[in-house]
Structure 1
């Protein structure tokens, strides 16, 4: 994954057009499809509310950080953590 940006792909559950949260279009509601990463990182993100089915919106981006709205709260995540959260647009 070094040198290549993350891209949308099909997940285990067959979800097409899932993408890392860091690439999600701002202000568009997205649904969490899956959370990847080492157990500690994955567990922390799940504890924060990034569970499959949760609605999340990207509010803004600042170089190495992504600001999101989840469960009525605004959170700032490092871009690396946001890449572990895979989402798809809600239609």
Structure 2
């Protein structure tokens, strides 16, 4: 999915790994906290970014995709240079 170091998707369900696989994103290239925290609704993407920064998964200078989803087939993405 382009030249990004990490992907931080909305943590909607346990189907997340399947979706990321279909997008061609390797397991070590995205955050998956669904089993630990469940669906946190609108806060899951900002929480995921904070978690990734706090745990050293991303760092200053990295480019990350923030990926939001909603009911139906709605997807929004933001490429962010940290």
Q: What's the TM-score, normalizing by structure 2?
A: 0.28
Query: Comparing both structures, which one devotes a greater share of its residues to helix?
Result: 2
Determine which structure has the larger strand proportion and give its number.
Answer: 1
